[in-house]
């Protein structure tokens, strides 16, 4: 029984460790290399690549949400729908804000 639980937890721990590593490397890069890289110009040049990256992350989250939705009991599915709706609203607001910032040349 313990082996079954570990087999379910292990992939999530690996994903969590990878994401933590990615955020750590990104944070250290921004902290120590950003002044020399003119970060705003770099972000402006990479804006479409970053948009593609975000859209891929959103697609993965949606796929994971559908997978989780099918596994949940009916009483929990309603909560997941509500959470997904609010998350979608916040993502749309975030992307609109991001587009307006780039549009103003900031």
Would the pTM of this model clear 0.85, i.e. be above it?
no
What does the pLDDT look like over 34-57, one tens digit per residue?
Answer: 666 676 777 788 888 988 999 999
Pairwise CA distance, residues 11 & 90, whole Å:
28
What does the pLDDT look like over 90-102, one tens digit per residue?
Answer: 999 988 988 887 7
What's residue 1's pLDDT?
A: 44
Percent of the chain scored above 70 by pLDDT? 86
What residues does each domain of the chain span?
1-37, 38-106
Cα 56 to Cα 9, 19, 83, 104, distances in angstroms: 24, 15, 20, 25
What does the pLDDT look like over 74-88, one tens digit per residue?
Answer: 888 999 899 999 999
């Amino acid at each position: 029984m313990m082996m079954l639980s570990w087999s379910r937890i292990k992939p999530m721990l690996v994903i969590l460790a990878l994401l933590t590593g990615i955020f750590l490397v990104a944070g250290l890069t921004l902290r120590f290399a950003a002044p020399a890289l003119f970060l705003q110009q770099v972000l402006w040049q990479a804006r479409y690549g970053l948009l593609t990256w975000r859209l891929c992350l959103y697609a993965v989250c949606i796929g994971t949400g559908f997978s989780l939705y099918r596994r949940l009991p009916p009483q929990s599915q309603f909560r997941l729908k509500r959470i997904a709706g609010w998350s979608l609203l916040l993502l749309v607001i975030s992307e609109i804000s991001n587009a307006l910032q780039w549009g103003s040349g900031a």
